[in-house]
Structure 1
Amino acid sequence: MNIVVVGDTLLDEDIDGIAERFQPDAPVPVVDVHQRVSRAGGAGLVARMLREDGVDVTLVTALSQDAPADRLRAHLEGITVVAGLLPAPTPVKTRLRAHGQPVARIDEGCGDPVLPHVTQEMLDAISRADGIIVSDYGRALTEHPELRVALHHRGARVPLVWDPHPKGADPVPSSRLVTPNLSEAAKAARTAADPSTAADAAKYLRERWGCVAVAVTLGSQGAMLLDVDHDAVHIPTRSVETADACGAGDRFASAALLALIEGADLPTAVRAAGNAAADFLESGGVAALGTSAGARGGGPRDAFAVAERVRAAGGTVVATGGCFDLLHAGHVRTLSAARALGDCLIVCLNSDDSVRRLKGADRPLIREDDRTELLSALSCVDAVLVFEEDGPEAVLDRLRPDIWVKGGDYRAQSLPETALVESWGGQVVTLPYHLGRSTTALAEAIARVS
């Protein structure tokens, strides 16, 4: 199954920290930054979601020739990207958060859109799709006449889901399902942004666009679905409490497409999409998909967000650290024991460069992305935080766990980080290694049989 994602790709950045004081000369909070995270946004985020679903994905988009575009390409590793030239700066959206709550958003390169270049390779990719999702972020790609013709022709043969934007082009008439949120639908239909008007807005938009169906998403209240053959029907979903719903609409649209490709009817697809969006938010939202720079959060959830939630609930934050090159049973036993000491376990992981400096040019044996994925797959690990320094002191000072666990034959007071951890009232605990199990021994065994 080859799914093609068509749309505008942005660079999303999150700056997370804490705010405990105000600026002396103005009533604005001062945010002490703990972490910077970046990821592909817009159509790039949709492609990343589908790739993590295990689907073969081709992203048809337009990319600039600037430094943010280079970062975008790195975030799109593993995805087939067919891109025309965007003759304008890469749009960058930076969100500033304190204690997990939004404070401000800074937009760069988001002025008047410029029509991107569309190549024959892009049109050919659309013509081979088994399913298409259009993720329109109002940056003019979907206005291109040739691209629209290609989408309309292929949409008549395979499921096409269109996630619209108030400043974007109208969906092509062959769209099987269009998924505006309530605000977008109300603005387009010139009605009040109220759930009671969702059915009227859906009817207006379906007639205007000529598409098969419109599902106006209502957040925790589900969606209002209207298709060409039936009256509007409300499809509920479960409510999820979250301070950051970013990406939920993308998850809804992509899950709806998957369901339609598998043969589901429209109500079933919309119901599945609502459940998928709720699951997405419950699992940590976009933080679970992010790749950061500096102190990088990976794994099932963002490490600082996990720690903040546990502290807010009165729980105990446990952290441990190391290279974890060639994960083995001894590691797993130590990690499980560490997790039992509190309410979450965050693993501080040496980056590839850090491991090379500590262990030599031939290490690590497994790159940090894979080490992060392996650790994150363990039920005892709640989050993984990659750090660049040789030692964990800097990342510990940002994370400030209640308990810092060290594996090996150490005395707590002999560790260089002990004084730092104790400075905020934390505790250092040492757990012994399990005899006969080590990365070095495992590597030597592999070398003997290779």
Structure 2
Amino acid sequence: MRPLVVVGDALLDTDVEGGATRLCPEAPVPVVDVEGEWVRPGGAGLAAILLATHATPGVRIVTALGDDGTGRRLAALLADDVEVLRLPLRGETVRKTRIRASGQPVARLDSGEGRAADAPLPDRVVRAIHDAGAVLVSDYGRGVAAHPGMRRLLAEAASRVPVVWDPHPRGAAPVPGSTLVTPNEREALAIAAAVEGCSGAADAAMALRRHWRCRTAAVTVGARGAVLATEDGTTLTVPVPDNATLTGQRLDTCGAGDRFATAAVTALVEGAGAADAVATAVESASRFVAAGGASALSRRADDHGATDGGQERFSPGSSVGCFDLAESVRRRGGRLVATGGCFDLLHAGHVSLLRHARSLGDALVVCLNSDESVRRLKGPGRPVVTAADRARLLSELSSVDGVVVFEESSPSTVLERLRPDVWVKGGDYTGSELPEAEVVRRHGGEVVLVPTVEGYSTTRLLQEAGR
């Protein structure tokens, strides 16, 4: 598969979290007692990280970064997961800081007014666009998508590979021929009203498809899903599916549009039509928000770019830490579910278990036995599939929000840190057979046994295959 390329404006997102129990004596504003600070790539940087998490390895990002502290930190965060192709930035790298008290936003502080410099594009950037299997343009109005040379490259790319364009009110118009443009409802109505004086998401989608001369346009409408304007001149409403209902409290929608766009471009690359790609994107964005939104990808600011030592987390091609995800779910009052096992030769029984487990809460983390752990439990001929590939397959399932690999025979050590609200195992176990049950209950969680699907087990599959 050819590399997927994100083109756009990256910035640094910071969340300052704390509690607020009193007002400032000088003014009627809350005093936030800071408990921690988390950082993550934002803008096109967030889109690139999400694409690397849910697509095959080899994602590249073309973005402008300044040679300042914020730019260097952002470059280091990105480089853990994607190949960074830097363009020069005129001014300081943008940083957005959210102040949050008890999970609720209190204020946002923006700094840096940098814009992409109008300089010749480096040869490696030109080659990256030419070699791309698809391009996602994540425009945050800072000049990368408006660069004349970049626009020529993107217009040429749109004639041969999927180009998904996530626009910005202050950004450049999508290049003609873009496969799918994905404005949110507020953006779409504002632009469409100026163009044709229409109102309503469906009318806006149609107007923008004509105005931008793109193949399709999908206007995202929050918890209602999306409205798609198709190539044949009709509109289609794509609702949030029942199995992706948002059940958590104080949901953080930051990054939902980026997740929508990355899911859409991934589906298009895999051969889906526009309607199916948008349906996939709606469900993926809904699950993303339910699992904590962009804050689930954050790292503590005092980790200097590391997350939990790097050994215990595992999400292929991603910097998303399962322990960070667990903390994020707890911060917003959500319900964390975990399950565990070898998951060697993923089969229908596994999928049923995972889907059932995910329905019990707002995020699901899979605790996965390492290769050595599987050998101790199953014998020298196992596993058939390596831990890296097993984790990658699990991460591709819509029911799974994170995968953490453990070396021991029991996941008890991992569960001490995850502290899930629900621990799920197949109905062929009993509570007394689970050494980790005591850990789960000690932290206030419950153990749930779900029915298994008759006739499915990895051991049986291998026996029938003659192994």
TM-score higher than 0.5 here?
Answer: yes
Paired amino acid for 1:299 = C
| Deviation of the 1:109 alpha carbon | 0.7
Using the aligned pairs only, state the percent identity.
44
String of CA shifts for 1:397-441, please: whole Å, max 9, x gaps. xx9xxxxxxxxxxxxxxxxxxxxxxxxxxx99xxxxxxxxxxxxx
| Deviation of the 1:373 alpha carbon | 5.0
String of CA shifts for 1:253-280, please: whole Å, max 9, x gaps. 0100111111111111100000010111
For 1:196-207, list aligned pairs within 5 A.
197-207=200-210
Distance 1:305 1:121, change over 3 A: closer
Of 73, 79, 84, the match for 1:81: 84
| Deviation of the 1:288 alpha carbon | 2.2
The answer as to 2:289 corresponding to 1:281 is yes
Aligned to 1:101: 104
Paired amino acid for 1:91 = V
Q: For the Cα contact (< 8 Å) 1:39–1:292, is it kept in 2?
A: no
Q: For the Cα contact (< 8 Å) 2:38–2:299, is it kept in 1?
A: yes
Q: For the Cα contact (< 8 Å) 1:306–1:382, is it kept in 2?
A: no
RMSD between aligned residues:
3.2
Aligned to 2:65: 63
Aligned to 2:145: 142
Q: How many residues align?
A: 331
Q: For the Cα contact (< 8 Å) 2:64–2:116, is it kept in 1?
A: no
Paired amino acid for 1:17 = G
Of 290-299 and 89-98, deviating more is 290-299
Aligned to 2:356: none
Paired amino acid for 1:80 = E
The SS at the match of 1:141 is: coil
The SS at the match of 2:218 is: strand
What is the distance in 2 between the residues matched to 1:264 and 1:307?
35
Q: For the Cα contact (< 8 Å) 1:152–1:173, is it kept in 2?
A: yes
What is the distance in 1 between the residues matched to 2:146 and 2:262?
21
Paired amino acid for 2:256 = A
The answer as to 2:215 corresponding to 1:212 is yes
Q: For the Cα contact (< 8 Å) 2:251–2:292, is it kept in 1?
A: no
Aligned to 2:14: 13
Q: For the Cα contact (< 8 Å) 1:301–1:383, is it kept in 2?
A: no
Of 96, 106, 122, the match for 2:125: 122
Aligned to 1:28: 29
What is the distance in 1 between the residues matched to 2:184 and 2:41?
21
Aligned to 2:45: 44
String of CA shifts for 1:124-156, please: whole Å, max 9, x gaps. 111100011000000011111110010010111
Q: For the Cα contact (< 8 Å) 2:11–2:42, is it kept in 1?
A: yes
For 1:344-359, list aligned pairs within 5 A.
none
What is the distance in 1 between the residues matched to 2:202 and 2:407?
42
What is the distance in 2 between the residues matched to 1:198 and 1:110?
32
Q: For the Cα contact (< 8 Å) 2:251–2:290, is it kept in 1?
A: no
The SS at the match of 1:142 is: coil
Distance 1:185 1:58, change over 3 A: same
Of structures 1 and 2, the larger Rg is shown by 1
Q: Point out where structure 2 has 5 or more consecutive residues left out of the alignment.
A: 309-320, 337-360, 363-402, 420-441, 444-467
> Structure 1 length as normaliser, TM-score?
0.67
> Structure 2 length as normaliser, TM-score?
0.65
String of CA shifts for 1:273-318, please: whole Å, max 9, x gaps. 00010111122221221122227784254455444455x99x9xxx
For 1:17-416, list aligned pairs within 5 A.
17-55=18-56, 56-76=58-78, 77-110=80-113, 113=115, 115-117=117-119, 118-190=121-193, 197-238=200-241, 239-240=245-246, 242-294=250-302, 298-299=321-322, 301-302=324-325, 304-309=327-332, 374=405, 381=414
What is the distance in 2 between the residues matched to 1:383 and 1:65?
41
What is the distance in 2 between the residues matched to 1:69 and 1:84?
12
The SS at the match of 2:106 is: strand
Q: For the Cα contact (< 8 Å) 2:251–2:332, is it kept in 1?
A: no
What is the distance in 2 between the residues matched to 1:374 and 1:13?
28
